[in-house]
Amino acid sequence: MLEARGVTVRFGGVAALTDVSLSVTAGQVTGLIGPNGAGKTTLFNVITGLQRPDRGEVRIDGSDVTRRGPHRRSRLGLARTFQRLELFGTLTAADNVRVGLEASAHHGHVIAPVSETAIGAAGDPALAVLERVGVGAVADAQVGSLPTGTARLVELARALSTGPRIILLDEPCSGLDDNETETLGALLGDLAAEGRAVLVVEHDMDLVLKVCDVVHVLDFGEVIASGTPLEIRADPIVQAAYLGRMDVPASADPDGHGAGPGRNGHGAPGVAPGGPGPVPGAPA
Amino acid sequence: MSVFFSYTVIGITVGAIYAITATGLVITYTTTGIFNFAQGAVGMVAAFSFWQLWQGWGWNPVLSLAVVLLVLAPLLAIGVEFVFMRRLHGASTVRSLMVTLGLLVILVGLATAIWNPQVQRIVPQFWPGDDVTILGVVINYQQLLTVIVAVAVAVAMRYFFRWFRVGVAMRAVVDDPDLVALAGAKPHRVAQMGWMLGFFFAALAGCLIAPTVASTGLNIDNLTILVVNGYAAAVVGRLRSLPWTFVGAIALGLAGEYSVGYLSQHLPSSLGGQLPELVPVVFLFVALLVVPAARLAAVGRLPVHPPPRVANLRQSLLGAAVLIVAVAAVSPLLGGSLLAAVATGLTLGIVGLSLVLLTGFAGQVSLCQLTFLGVGAYVMGKVASGGGDWLGLVAAVAVTAGLGTVIALPAIRLRGLYLALATLAFGEAAYFAFFTNTSFFPGFGGSVAVGRLSLPGVHLVGDRAELIEIAAFFALSAVAVLAVRRSNFGRRLVAMNDSPAAFATLGLNATVTKVAVFALAAGMAGLGGVLYGGETGAIAGNDTQLQFLSSLILLLFVAIWGIRTTTGALLGGLSATLLPFAETHLPAAYAGLTGLVAGVGIVLLGRSADGVLGLPQLRGRVRLPFTDTPRRPAGDGGGADAAPTDDEIKGAVGVA
């Protein structure tokens, strides 16, 4: 359904992605893991059209979209969330979702974000979408004032509002508490069950191993392994590159990303504090 | 052939000056992320200071030049960086734009106050009579010096960024100021250096230009706007590359000379005479066409300031009624000229409302909004005389909206800064090619009569009735702007401004949205023009409102009061009219007052993005017409924002 082939991106002399290929299938949750700076977000940017690759192509339903802008890819049924929140901060949570609902109202390639009955129960499509993600209570709050975890869920609701067939989630669990994380895991499964393709970048290994059907491991801009969660867990290369440095099973919130969105648009996103998290080290 | 050489050599010397000022512009931009719209104004102040020291006080010319370049310019830069720019770290493009525009206005106001524009000031040639002959072209030492200085600047900057510690730090700071701080360099120092170099080059260019305008003497506005040439050159360098900036500057210098030499004779004289002003503008537009579209970067930033609450329909209608009644009640107290000034202020308020749409909601900056006012008035005057008032009104709005679309198209796919540049250039082009063109406005400063807009069934008699009519139009426009904000389209505008990347990934086309809002805003400014023309009875080609500074001052005043609120537009329009009005009734020493007030108000924007109406002290306490003053900061966000109670609505009306 979604396919990246031989994607290469260089920032100056640094290769952020080297010949990365992966595909995402409808009805499955695909995991993308790797240390900070491995190139996961860059790959998301390439897939959604925010970053043009130096080489390689992106295909949706077999057709090449590498040269198409992000809004045209979205109309083919692609949606995403951002690692560092990109909410419409001056709007309310409900209005954030409404922008997505209106944007997708007139084009095809849609799997409805919520059922008609849910809309009927909530009385308002935007509210229904927020409720599905579990944040119906903050519908009328300006999202700029929400705590990070809640804001992250609002962003998920907004991505969902366009009725995507392919949904890309960039660290959806950072900033969420254990209950919220569990709910989210169930939601990811449901989204796949509705026939959507879900691609998720996540550091919470418990979640990844539990909900993902397929996992790809990215390190220094290259895919070093792909397989089922169990295969990945057993793969010695992966252990050396990533899991091996993480002796403690990753049940705690793995790193400091949830601390809050960057306030000024720059700063190093990948600098994690010490602790049981995956070790940063790869260049940006 | 010798004629061709002559144009070439002169073109290069002219281009050399552009190259120097553009170098400063690029260096400041790359090290601080702020595009200094006041670059020309700094050069202007330097040129006047140079005159003051050398001619006014009789100092040695070399000493004068040294003091201006090595003492005055760096000190000014340090002061400006400290007072205005330091707070802007991480601020939005619109805010940093406003601040440099404010600086421009302050410097112009200061210069007007210090150097009375009525007095002619001439900076003589450095070496009168000395010249050399190159390729059969006679070049004076002054021109030779300019080229030598430009080459020296190019060489010096190349080594500076490679070999000097601070130069390397300046290159690094663009990428990530926080990282540079971690590495031990001080970002403030680096930014200071960026401003000092920028101001130094602006001053250098100003002092080199000064003797070339000896025939007319120094002129504050002309010297300030001459920097459009520098902008065009910097755009060729994409605001990054110094070598390309030099190429752009020399190409522009040559284009200017060749067009005057070879093209002007083929154009009608009314247009041919304006070529020197038009060439850089056309050049800038062409350069904008070849700049690649901006990459949609995720900003990763949430707005810190809660937005103003948007009034609902009932509240805004109530506010509108209150405004009309208030104006009607006050109007008997106003004398003839004050009445006219208030009426003009309200028409500018309508233009201010167009800025609320464009800048306040959508985050796009236009520096030529009063040009649309002039075009609107002109179309009204031409069409209404034959086709009736309503046809005139519709034509004026349609033509300005169409014009807005055409201007926006080349620049709008780029970052907001480029749109601001394009609009500034367009405003200048319109002024020189249209408003001061004798084919359209017979005789220099000729005017086109514009009748009052008469509504069917309503007979307007007298100036008071017209004032109330204008107030009604303002009030309805404000209601319309708030209705747009509540609509799907308005929600999209705000969303696009908050996060362009997320906007695009939802399947929305930012280019289409931006063009639409720009056209809408231009049309609304055209409506303001219809009323403005009716109020003044005519639109004159040399009307001060049509000069670039007026558009700027209006934008600044709306921003100072609060650019996301319709109340801000009302107060902004009134301020932009009543302050100059006061100036004309005060002693000459108060010349430049408007500029100074506007400039000082801009300092506020460093503290409060929503201007005076957004100040924490005022938040939630003061309610003004249209009841959309910023609301109290939300608590933890968990509580839903309750609908306003009747008390709040009453309170809203009470203060009006």
Establish if A152 belongs to a structural domain.
no
Task: Dump pLDDT digits (tens) for A59-76.
Answer: 999 899 999 989 999 999
- Structure confidence at residue A99 (pLDDT): 94
Which H/E stretch holds residue B266?
none
Is B299's Cβ below 8 Å from some Cβ in A? yes
Share of chain A above pLDDT 70, in %: 84
Residue A5 scores a pLDDT above 60: yes
Is B644's Cβ below 8 Å from some Cβ in A? no
pTM > 0.90: no
User: B321: exposed, middle or buried (C-beta count within 10 Å: 0-12, 13-18, 19+)?
Assistant: middle
- Structure confidence at residue B176 (pLDDT): 60
Among A79, A95, A268, whose Cβ lies nearest the Cβ of B505?
A79
Establish if A137 belongs to a structural domain.
no
Establish if A13 belongs to a structural domain.
yes
User: B346: exposed, middle or buried (C-beta count within 10 Å: 0-12, 13-18, 19+)?
Assistant: buried
- Structure confidence at residue A250 (pLDDT): 43
Most B CBs within 10 Å: which of A14, A40, A50, A52, as the mutation test of the B interface? Answer: A50
Q: Which residue of A has its CA nearest to B508?
A: A71
User: Nearest 5°: CA angle at A203, between A198 and A204?
Assistant: 90
Total domain count, chain A: 1
Establish if A245 belongs to a structural domain.
yes
- Structure confidence at residue B271 (pLDDT): 76
Residue A80 scores a pLDDT above 90: yes
- What does the longest C-alpha to C-alpha distance in chain A come to? 55
- Structure confidence at residue B204 (pLDDT): 94
Tell me phi and psi for residue B256, to 5 degrees. Answer: -60, -45
Which H/E stretch holds residue B485?
helix B462-486
Distance from C-alpha of B2 to C-alpha of A86, rounded to nearest angstrom: 61
Establish if A231 belongs to a structural domain.
yes
Q: How far is B543 from chain A (nearest CA, A)?
A: 39
- Fold adopted by B2-290: ABC transporter involved in vitamin B12 uptake, BtuC (1.10.3470)
- Structure confidence at residue B621 (pLDDT): 46
Q: Quick count: other Cβ atoms within 10 Å of Cβ B171?
A: 14
Give the pLDDT means over successive 10-residue stretches in chain B (656 positions).
82 91 90 88 94 91 93 93 78 81 89 85 79 76 88 86 70 61 68 90 92 80 81 86 90 90 79 80 83 60 63 88 92 86 95 95 92 94 81 93 89 79 87 85 77 72 86 95 94 91 90 93 96 89 86 91 91 92 80 79 72 67 42 35 34 32
Establish if A30 belongs to a structural domain.
yes
Is B635's Cβ below 8 Å from some Cβ in A? yes
Is B507 in Cβ contact with A104 (below 8 Å)? Answer: yes
Is B499 in Cβ contact with A91 (below 8 Å)? Answer: no
Three-class DSSP labels, chain A: CEEEEEEEEEECCEEEEEEEEEEECCCCEEEEECCCCCCHHHHHHHHHCCCCCCEEEEEECCEECCCCCHHHHHCCCEEECCCCCCCCCCCEHHHHHHHHHHHHCCCCCCCCCCCHHHHHHHCCHHHHHHHHHCCHHHCCCEHHHCCHHHHHHHHHHHHHHCCCCEEEEECCCCCCCHHHHHHHHHHHHHHHHCCCEEEEECCCHHHHHHHCCEEEEEECCEEEEEECHHHHHHCHHHHHHCHHHCCCCCCCCCCHHHHCCCCCCCCCCCCCCCCCCCCCCCCC
Distance from C-alpha of A233 to C-alpha of B437, rounded to nearest angstrom: 77
Q: In which band, very low, low, confident or very high, does the pLDDT at A1 lie, cut at 50, 70 and 90?
A: confident
Residue A166: strand pairing partners: A78, A197
- Chains A and B form CB pairs within 8 A to the count of 165
Hey, which residues 57-96 in chain B have their CB within 8 Å of chain A?
A: 89-90
- Structure confidence at residue B644 (pLDDT): 34
Chain A CB contacts of B171 under 8 Å are: none
- Structure confidence at residue B166 (pLDDT): 67
Is B292's Cβ below 8 Å from some Cβ in A? no
Is B643's Cβ below 8 Å from some Cβ in A? no
Establish if A246 belongs to a structural domain.
yes
Is A89 in Cβ contact with B498 (below 8 Å)? Answer: yes
Q: Which is more confidently placed, A247 or B239?
A: B239
B613 and B561 Cβ atoms separated by less than 8 Å: yes
- Structure confidence at residue B575 (pLDDT): 93
Q: How far is A131 from chain B (nearest CA, A)?
A: 15
Chain A CB contacts of B178 under 8 Å are: 266-268
What is the domain extent for residue A40?
A: 1-76+202-251
Q: How far is CA B632 from CA B490, B532, B641, in A?
A: 22, 36, 11
Is B633 in Cβ contact with A145 (below 8 Å)? Answer: yes
Q: In which band, very low, low, confident or very high, does the pLDDT at A19 lie, cut at 50, 70 and 90?
A: very high
Establish if A71 belongs to a structural domain.
yes
ipTM: 0.83
Hey, which residues 162-191 in chain B have their CB within 8 Å of chain A?
A: 176-179
Q: Which residue of A has its CA nearest to B643?
A: A140
Q: Quick count: other Cβ atoms within 10 Å of Cβ A186?
A: 11
Is A143 in Cβ contact with B502 (below 8 Å)? Answer: no
Domain ranges, ordered by start, for chain B: 2-290, 313-546
CATH code: domain of residue A37: 3.40.50.300
Is B637 in Cβ contact with A107 (below 8 Å)? Answer: no
Chain A CB contacts of B637 under 8 Å are: 138, 141-143, 145-147, 150
